[in-house]
Structure 1
Amino acid sequence: MKALVLSGGTGSRLRPITHTAAKQLVPVANKPVLFYGIESLVAAGITDIGIVVGDTEAEIRAAVGDGSRFGARVSYLPQARPLGLAHAVLIARDWLGDDDFVMYLGDNFVVGGITELVEEFRATRPDARILLTKVDDPSAFGVAELDPDGAVLRLEEKPSAPRSDLALVGVYLFTSAVHEAVRSITPSARGELEITDAIQWLVEDGRSVCSTVISGYWKDTGNVTDMLEVNRTVLEAMPPAVLGTVDADSELVGRVRVEEGASVVRSRIVGPAVIGAGSVVRDSYIGPSTSVADGCLISDSEVEFSIVLDGSRIEGVGRIEGSLIGRTVRVTGAARAPRAHRLVLGDHSQVQITP
């Protein structure tokens, strides 16, 4: 059994971070989201992995390499343009051959992994098995309608009038039957080959399509709100450790991890939180659900429920919360009156300022 991991796309909902970084490599708990997916596949016994890549191919290749660090063998499958999930299956046809496979969206996160789902699929081998979860706004997702016995009746991509509240999770399991389906559909109104249309074709052709409604935790980390929530969830399960230095005037409360080479000086950190290697927290407060990546400086500030990426400096700014701070960003307090906000913001930035 193989795995097809989708790591193309533009990451428009995470701009401006994704102007300079692949969305699948934005970290939660100081590890790229993509790595969690690869680890889940390997844990399920799937080690032959093809990664579909686009404009950020070089960055994905540099991070993942040949897959040996994960115990996997990774191949890279270029996709010239992001023309839909079914299009990714189409371009991967030769690599996939006639093998069964898992298609895994590289920016999705499933707590607990997929081992049981893969084992069930291997035992029963329907032509397709989809994962579903209840959501508050199904119009933002692919939506499935089931009959009273749980059989799949209909699927629709981002419907204006959803027939159910069951959204497709970004993990799909297929036999080679899906290849005929993706060749048989036409682009949607948004110009993409939709995997929901391909699965619907299987349903209408009388193929076996099964579903599993998951009650565990799933998130599409394509926006900042969901990424912060995933960060919180991962940190809550992270083992605490002090591998760096914490001075006598500092206090660690709860599940806190201080990585090697990091130092905490005259500060209070309330977990779950992680301070990355080589980072310095000085005269500051780090609150729950916060990840500080490697080589950062937090000084005379408060940071809570936030992600701070590598090499950034936050100095003398009061309190920051619910924020995603990019790489090598500098956030500082203003030195002179009158009180004013001085900003240099990239395209598609979002800023909330208290008057």
Structure 2
Amino acid sequence: MKGIILAGGRGTRLHPLTLGVSKQLLPVHDKPMIYYPLSILMLAGVRDVLIISTSRDLGAFQALFGDGKQLGLDLSYAAQDEPRGIAEALLIGADHIGTDDVALVLGDNIFHGPGFGEVLHHHVADIDGCVLFGYRVPDPERYGVAEADAQGRIVSLEEKPARPRSNLAVTGLYLYENDVVEIARGIRPSPRGELEITDVNRVYTQQRRATLVDLGRGFTWLDTGTHDSLTDASHYMQLMEQRQGVRVACIEEVALNMGYIDAEACHRLGEELANSDYGQYVMNISAAAPAPWLVAP
């Protein structure tokens, strides 16, 4: 499976913070926002990832990650200079996707909950059309809303409905079979000239090939599109990390635990950040891993 992170847009709701920097490079507690969606793809077993952003910001993402080899990943980059809809990411990434299935995640979405890696692996291994992830919200009229039957098959999708049929908001994580590229090519642009991802998902719904995963209680989904939600996300992550003693979306730790890199490589990554608490954490978790090279003679 290939991965795509859509990290474009102008971030106008976060002005003036985003006048000179991509929203997805802003900090959420102790790390750039894009670490969170990247860690989700890594947990799903996805190692070949395309990052889509504006021409202005691509250089900053490349400076942050390079080609990804240090994390056991293969990262590439593409430009979307005008916000022409989420579904356009599938067309921009068509060559990247090739003949594979694809996981698309929005660069400003944060997911945190127990056992999410196992959930992702289960659905990545057996995709029938598309898999969407729903989160229960008190104000569904602000979101795309999905209604599913007892088997989890989606029976209706509505965008910001006045009278929602459920309170399950569709989050910014989508798993698709390879035919999604052709489906996206057949979607008509909205009056604003955008390719809407809901229209792509409706095709699968009409084919009875759309599945909804209810993220359920104990799970957190955060959309960091406003000043208040960005601050809330930072406070949440700070609290989780202080209480639990672990760092959420530490991509070096995820790479180590997934077997993408070994403890020695993880330790080197920590040394590069050794003046920060984050770097010290990376070195500590690498030292705790089975690593004969760290044992004094």
Report the Cα distance in structure 1 between the residues aligned to 2:79 and 2:116, rounded to whole angstroms: 26
SS at match of 1:237: helix
CA drift of 1:159 comes to 2.9
- Tell me, yes or no, if the aligned pair for 2:130 and 2:177 is still in contact at 8 Å: yes
Q: Answer with 1 or 2: which has the greater Rg.
A: 1
Equivalent runs, 1:125-164 vs 2, <5 Å: 125-164=127-166
Aligned length: 248
Equivalent runs, 1:240-251 vs 2, <5 Å: none
Q: Which has the higher contact order (CA 8 A, sep 6+)?
A: 2
Matched to 1:85, the amino acid is: I
Report the Cα distance in structure 2 between the residues aligned to 1:135 and 1:122, rounded to whole angstroms: 25
Q: 1:261 to 1:79 in 2, by over 3 A?
A: closer
SS at match of 1:17: coil
Long gaps (5+) in structure 2: 246-272, 281-297
**Which of 220, 223, 238 is matched with 1:220 structurally?**
223
Please report the TM-score for the alignment, with normalisation by the length of structure 2.
Answer: 0.76
SS at match of 1:150: coil
Matched to 2:68, the amino acid is: G
CA drift of 1:172 comes to 0.6
SS at match of 1:238: helix
Which has a greater percent of helix?
A: 2
Query: Is 1:230 the equivalent of 2:233?
Result: yes
SS at match of 1:82: coil
- Tell me, yes or no, if the aligned pair for 1:30 and 1:276 is still in contact at 8 Å: no
Please report the TM-score for the alignment, with normalisation by the length of structure 1.
Answer: 0.64
For 1:42, the equivalent position in structure 2 comes to 42
Matched to 1:164, the amino acid is: S
CA drift of 1:228 comes to 1.6
Deviates more, 1:17-26 or 1:156-165: 156-165
Report the Cα distance in structure 1 between the residues aligned to 2:92 and 2:208, rounded to whole angstroms: 23
CA drift of 1:207 comes to 4.5
SS at match of 1:109: strand
Report the Cα distance in structure 1 between the residues aligned to 2:94 and 2:187, rounded to whole angstroms: 15
Q: 1:225 to 1:29 in 2, by over 3 A?
A: same
Report the Cα distance in structure 2 between the residues aligned to 1:200 and 1:80, rounded to whole angstroms: 26
Matched to 2:131, the amino acid is: R
Report the Cα distance in structure 2 between the residues aligned to 1:224 and 1:63, rounded to whole angstroms: 23
Equivalent runs, 1:20-169 vs 2, <5 Å: 20-54=20-54, 55-112=56-113, 114-169=116-171
CA drift of 1:179 comes to 1.6
Report the Cα distance in structure 1 between the residues aligned to 2:100 and 2:151, rounded to whole angstroms: 29
Report the Cα distance in structure 2 between the residues aligned to 1:172 and 1:261, rounded to whole angstroms: 37
Matched to 2:20, the amino acid is: T
How far does the alpha carbon of each residue in 1:99-158 deviate from its partner, in whole angstroms, 9 at most, with x for none? 011101111100138422321123322110000011122222211122354320121223
Matched to 2:66, the amino acid is: G
For 1:187, the equivalent position in structure 2 comes to 189
Which has a greater percent of strand?
A: 1
Q: 1:70 to 1:38 in 2, by over 3 A?
A: farther
Q: Which segments of structure 1 move beyond 6 Å, counting only runs of 4 or more?
A: 259-262, 274-277
Indicate the percent of aligned positions where both proteins have the same amino acid. 37
SS at match of 2:83: coil
Matched to 1:79, the amino acid is: Q
Q: 1:15 to 1:98 in 2, by over 3 A?
A: same
For 1:171, the equivalent position in structure 2 comes to 173
**Aligned-residue CA RMSD (Å):** 2.5
- Tell me, yes or no, if the aligned pair for 1:105 and 1:171 is still in contact at 8 Å: yes
How far does the alpha carbon of each residue in 1:164-209 deviate from its partner, in whole angstroms, 9 at most, with x for none? 22111111101112122212211123321111110101222x2511
Long gaps (5+) in structure 1: 242-258, 263-273, 278-355
Report the Cα distance in structure 2 between the residues aligned to 1:12 and 1:99, rounded to whole angstroms: 34
- Tell me, yes or no, if the aligned pair for 1:2 and 1:101 is still in contact at 8 Å: yes
- Tell me, yes or no, if the aligned pair for 1:185 and 1:201 is still in contact at 8 Å: no
